[in-house]
């Protein structure tokens, strides 16, 4: 299988080929197969180019989840490098903010075109670094270019308001950019999150310095190169690599006007605290333990499909997953029979093969953590209906990968650890319920509030339940669909602010009011 265009992936070495920056190549599927890629070039990016680490110390290995082999060494950016990136972004911001929305839109549409043209190879690199199936990764890349197109459209519409005042005076408002925004991404959607944060930021006239997860540093720099090729000023989208220390430097930097973070609740609280010292705006998209409620009058086929989508995308490593599945008692036997049968049929293995539906978890510690939750569930009275074990694919090169068979747990209670805590692995906890009032109370009995779902044919009940669920998103008769037009964000400990949708413009801009007096000043003095 060959591709009509490929990612400009600097430093991606196949079995016999080094791919230099900005060279378009036709590469076969075999050339970027699992277990063959090495990352050789720098992964930092500012000033319009990749930047070598200033000090090659404190290196952290970056793994290929499907094989367990090391892809590269990551060298975290220190204070001097962070400052260089912020200065580069500030210089680019001063140029970008002066461009008309129509001009910014043209550049962004070109970036979207490039991503769309090279989607297959970007997706393959995402799979190699992240472990998810290529089928999912292709969808992620499509969502990315659609997001840029969407915000390019909004860039052309940004405007203020005219307010008529007495005596011929008037006021008007101007929507202005914030400045240099900091984006901090997560490992589960590396490329897509980089776009989700940068697209609305750039549409509003901001610059961005983005720090990927240290476990998935590879594809953010490709986005930076694509933005440059599309025509943004050098430095408008910078990439700095590192872990907590680098993130701290970004949050404390005086040039940072806003911090947008996707990740865990404890880290989100720390980012909020650090950003507060500089009175920086913050968007937090944090964890979840979302409820999925299935009523007896549902379309069972769709409810089962919804439960699978709510639990097993990206090996269960999705913050909004509906991992607490509440099923009305009358249909519990039928539901469990069907969901177990389909879970057992999920093809686990090489994530670069088209037939694979579940790849590898991100790391060995994450795999061990998910397996431990299953063991603890059994110790607390839960019953494993299927899965919950390490999975060893037949392909020898995958023997060291971080694979797990998807798991369905029965006999779960609300007080069990697997029901209360976010697992971030392919584990579905199923619980029975009797009445609508009871299940809403139980569903809301959590510190999280990112998402929720309900399956029912009763349209009145569907809207009634949605109204009463304490979550930023409620899916009715579906789950885990996230079109770019739809705002996404949490309640309670799942964060605040929104990503996607028109409302996100408000989180990457600020409003200035200008008051114009046409007559004489009436003074009390």
The 3-class secondary structure across 454-519, one letter per residue, is: EECCCHHHHHHHHHHCCCCEEEECCCCCCCCCCCECCCHHHEECCECCHHHHHHHEEEEEEEECCC
What tokens appear for 438 in the block?
């009871």
Catalytic residue annotation: 285
H helices of 63-219, in order, are 79-96, 101-117, 119-130, 134-155, 190-203
Contact 74, 60 (CB under 8 A): yes
DSSP letter at 313?
G
Which residue in 5, 7, 81, 66 sits closest to 33, CA to CA?
Answer: 66
Closest CA to 476 of 331, 237, 302, 253: 302
426: three-class secondary structure by DSSP: coil
Q: How far, in Å, are 145, 211, 350, 473, 485 from residue 391 at the CA level? A: 34, 32, 12, 33, 37
Rounded distance between C-alpha atoms, residue 279 and residue 463, angstroms: 38
Q: How buried is residue 247: exposed, middle or buried, by Cβ count under 10 Å (0-12/13-18/19+)?
A: buried
Distance CA 63, CA 58 (A): 16
Q: What 8-state DSSP symbol labels residue 404?
A: B
**Rounded CA gap, 333 and 313, in Å?**
24
**What's the per-residue H, E or C state across 403-454?**
CECCEEEECCCCCCHHHHCCCCCCEEEEEEECCHHHHHHHHCCCCCCCEEEE
DSSP 331: G
DSSP 17-56: -EE-TT------GGGG-TT--EE-S--EEETTEEE--SS-
Q: Residue 53: CB partners within 8 Å, gap ≥ 6?
A: 42, 44, 75, 77, 81
Burial of 202 (0-12, 13-18, 19+ CB in 10 A): buried
CA distances from 182 to 43, 283, 405, 494 (A): 17, 10, 37, 20
Q: What is the bridge-based pairing of β-strands 162-164 and 281-285?
A: unpaired
Please tell me whether residue 156 adopts helix, strand or coil conformation: coil
H or E, element range at 348 = none
397 membership: H or E segment, kind and range: none
């Amino acid at each position: 299988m060959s591709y009509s265009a490929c990612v400009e992936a600097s430093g991606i070495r196949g079995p016999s080929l080094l791919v230099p920056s900005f060279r378009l190549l036709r590469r076969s599927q075999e050339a970027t197969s699992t277990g063959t890629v090495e990352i050789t070039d720098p992964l930092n990016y500012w000033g319009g180019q990749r930047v070598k680490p200033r000090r090659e110390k404190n290196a952290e290995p970056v793994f290929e989840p499907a094989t367990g082999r090391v892809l590269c060494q990551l060298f975290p950016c220190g204070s001097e490098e962070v400052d260089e990136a912020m200065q580069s972004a500030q210089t680019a911001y001063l140029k970008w903010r002066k461009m008309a929305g129509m001009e910014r839109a043209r550049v962004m549409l070109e970036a979207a075109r490039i991503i769309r043209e090279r989607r297959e190879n970007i997706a393959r690199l995402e799979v190699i670094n992240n472990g998810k199936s290529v089928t999912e990764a292709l969808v992620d890349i499509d969502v990315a270019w659609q997001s840029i197109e969407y915000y390019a459209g909004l860039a052309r519409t940004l405007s203020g308001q005219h307010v008529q005042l007495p005596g011929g005076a008037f006021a008007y408002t101007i929507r202005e950019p914030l400045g240099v925004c900091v984006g901090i991404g997560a490992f589960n959607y590396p490329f897509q999150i980089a776009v989700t944060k940068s697209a609305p930021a750039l549409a509003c006239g901001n610059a961005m310095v983005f720090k990927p997860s240290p476990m998935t540093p590879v594809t953010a720099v490709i986005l930076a190169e694509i933005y440059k090729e599309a025509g943004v000023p050098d430095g408008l989208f910078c990439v700095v690599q590192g872990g907590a220390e680098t993130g701290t430097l970004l949050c404390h930097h005086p040039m940072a006007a806003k911090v947008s973070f996707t990740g865990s609740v404890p880290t989100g609280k720390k980012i909020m605290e650090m950003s507060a010292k500089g009175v920086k705006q913050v968007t937090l998209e944090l964890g979840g333990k979302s409820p999925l409620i299935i009523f007896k009058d549902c379309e069972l086929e769709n409810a089962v499909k919804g439960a699978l989508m709510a639990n097993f995308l990206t090996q269960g490593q999705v913050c909004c997953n509906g991992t607490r599945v509440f099923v009305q008692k009358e249909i519990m036997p039928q539901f469990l029979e069907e969901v177990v049968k389909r879970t057992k049929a999920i093809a686990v293995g090489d994530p670069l093969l088209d037939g694979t539906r579940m790849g590898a978890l991100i790391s060995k510690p994450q795999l061990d953590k998910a397996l431990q939750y299953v063991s603890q569930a059994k110790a607390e009275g839960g019953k494993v209906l299927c899965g919950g074990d390490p999975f060893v694919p037949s392909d020898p090169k995958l023997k060291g990968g971080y694979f797990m068979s998807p798991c369905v747990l029965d006999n779960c209670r609300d007080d069990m650890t697997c029901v209360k805590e976010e697992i971030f692995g392919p584990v579905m906890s199923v619980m029975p319920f009797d009445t609508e009032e009871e299940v809403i109370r139980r569903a809301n009995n959590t510190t999280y509030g990112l998402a929720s779902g309900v399956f029912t044919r009763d349209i009145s009940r569907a809207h009634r339940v949605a109204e009463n669920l304490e979550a930023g998103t409620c899916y009715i008769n579906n789950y885990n669909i996230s079109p770019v037009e739809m705002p996404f964000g949490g309640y309670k400990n799942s964060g605040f602010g929104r990503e996607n949708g028109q409302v996100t413009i408000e989180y990457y801009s600020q409003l200035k009011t200008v008051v114009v007096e046409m007559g004489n000043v009436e003074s009390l003095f």
